[in-house]
Structure 1
Amino acid sequence: MSEARWPARLTLAAARDGAGATRVHARHDGPLRLLKTLHPEGEGVAHAVLVHPPGGLVGGDRLDIDIDVAEGAHLLVTTPAATRFYRSNASEAAQVVVARVGEGARLEWLPQETLAYPGCLARNEVRLSLAPGASLFACEVLGLGLPAAGQAFDKGRLLQHLEVGGQWLDRGWLDAADRALLDGPCGLAGHRVLGTLAYAQTTTLAGAEALLADARERLAELPLCGLTHLAGARGSVLLARVVGDEVEAVTLALRRVRALWRERLWALPGGDPRIWAT
């Protein structure tokens, strides 16, 4: 792989202090910053807002986000705007997120949507790992093309890699030339927005069927959706996968599911981060 044209790296370390508050320390290199750390739910839960001032990635750009949540801490990470992969002439643009969640810690990876512009060459990777007793939420919404602007995803490709430790992995190329995938009944069936919400923990999950049943009601208006519970030796994963035509509709549906699961599993309010309302 060639050297990145405009690389940026951000490292976040969240730890619980002696009073039970989650504190966040950040280091950055290049145009990727921690804008603000907020505590709207109390000192125990830190909301970290990340910004990328250039506003998008072109061929050769690379963003690396490294997150470490120490034992007992609770970190929610989000962004105020979409991640945009613009048209690339030849080289690939990449965003790579690696997060480690310590014993008894919680992470919520909740960025705004990712937009793949026509002609992009992109890679979007999220790799999350959990120590014993840890749990996390992760949400990714991907829009292919700009349908509202009349710009179809007729050129380009994007690699989507979503991984939760050894419990679940979703990896594949979304290529504009692959009409069977984009338009076939066994693929996206002509839809251009994909959404994924995952909840994972390292212990057995009780009441999974009730959580799935109630979540299905919140996704009923979407044309294609599926929910499942994966259970194994390394723990449990709840998955909600949806396909639609509008980023906003898919995003709002997954937020409703996250709110439900957050309240039931963590006994915490299911409200959205404050930055989403600005």
Structure 2
Amino acid sequence: MAWLAQLDLNYSLSAGRSRVHFRHDGPLRVLRSLYPEGDAVCHNVLVHPPGGLVSGDTLDITVQVGSHAHALVTTPGATRFYKSSGEPAAQRTHLRLQAGARLEWLPLEALAYNACDAHNLLHMDVAEGAELMAWDITAFGLPHASEPFVQGRFTQHMQWPGHWLEHGTVRADDAYLMDSPLGLAGQRCMGSMLLACGTALTRTQREHLLDATRAVLDAHPQGQWCGVTAPNAHMLVLRGLAPVVEPLMQLWQQVRVCWRQEHWQLPGTAPRIWSM
């Protein structure tokens, strides 16, 4: 029997404190709000007790951040797309930021199990003055368990209407995509990270952030498999490949610290769940 799980998170700023109100339907919810940085930034951990998705399952997540609130959302573990027996499994995420809002969307990795049929969809709306920091990391198969990704497909769609669109399907039987230097080059983990700004960055701001990010990449062993660009005045996009999740996740966390410090003048405070 397929699961349909829905979660709506609504953040607002009240008396200097970012607060969340939520409603859920099915096995998807957030834990208690934490404030390791003080009242201005609300940290939440999104929990899906079943731990994975099978054929026909859908996770439907909406996050709305009100004017000048700052939210950070992460997860305690990977999102697992298991073997499909027919219908695809889907995770749909819609992020809406009002004027002056900030959101850090930092879920842990997605794992595409062998023979899965998975759809991972991310839609963003970023108002004037709002800023979104978000990442997505996907690993194909379980190399440590000797379970390679030799069947199945993973479709990813990420969109900020009017500014940015990426859509593609990774098929396990597409040898050119999986193993060619023009594709994944034999790597089995891919990641994207973005900074989306409702108000255009100046050229000086973009160049400063690009230089700072490249310095982080140059100092990390996995950095040679990564690249950062500014596809337009509103965005930075970082992409990378790795054989497994761990080096890419470590690098993405370092870039997050860089962007927080260089662009937001905030310390790189990590969610507590990452230390568990």
TM-score range, shorter chain: over 0.9
SS at match of 2:156: strand
For structure 1, the residue ranges without an aligned partner over 5 or more in a row are none
Equivalents in 2 of 1:210, 1:264: separation in Å? 8
Amino acid at match of 1:140: D
1:107-136 Cα offsets, whole Å, 9 max, x none, are 110000110000100101111111111101
Letter in 2 for 1:5: A
TM-score scaled by structure 1? 0.95
Identify the residue that residue 219 of structure 1 maps to in structure 2.
217
- Residues 58-83 of structure 1 show CA distances to partners (whole Å, capped at 9, x for unaligned) of 01100000111111111111101110
SS at match of 2:32: strand
The equivalent residue for 1:230 is 231
Q: Which residue of 2 aligns with 1:250?
A: 248
Structure 2 unmatched runs, 5+: none
TM normalised by structure 2 equals: 0.95
1:84-123 correspondence to structure 2 within 5 Å: 84-123=80-119
Separation of aligned partners in 1, 2:161 and 2:33: 26
Opposite residue 195 of structure 1, the aligned amino acid is G
**Correspondence for 1:191 among 174, 187, 190:** 187
1:77–1:108 CA contact under 8 A, matched in 2 = yes
Report if the CA contact (8 A) 1:47-1:76 is conserved. yes
Partner of 1:200: 196
Partner of 2:155: 159
Which residue of 2 is the match for residue 9 of structure 1?
6
Assess if the C-alpha contact under 8 Å between 2:65 and 2:97 holds in 1.
yes
Residues 130-182 of structure 1: CA deviation (Å, up to 9, x unaligned): 11111010011110110010111100001111223422111100110111111
Looking at structure 2, the residues matched to 10 and 35 of structure 1 have their Cα atoms a distance apart, in angstroms, of 12
Q: Given that residues 130 and 165 in structure 1 are in contact (C-alpha distance below 8 angstroms), is that contact kept between their aligned partners in structure 2? A: no
Equivalent residue in structure 2 for 1:129, among 125, 132, 143: 125
Q: Report how far residue 271 of structure 1 moved.
A: 2.5
User: Is the CA contact 2:30–2:47 (under 8 Å) kept in the aligned structure 1?
Assistant: yes
Moved more, 210-219 or 124-133: 210-219
CA distances 1:209-259 after superposition (whole Å, capped 9, x unpaired):
232122123223224211101224xxx101110001120100001111111
**CA–CA distance in structure 1, aligned partners of residues 267 and 162 of structure 2:** 29
| Distance of 1:201 and 1:256 partners within structure 2 | 20
The answer as to whether partners of 2:66 and 2:98 remain within 8 angstroms in 1 is yes
Aligned-residue CA RMSD in angstroms? 1.2
Contact map agreement 1:36 1:50 (CA 8 A) in 2: no
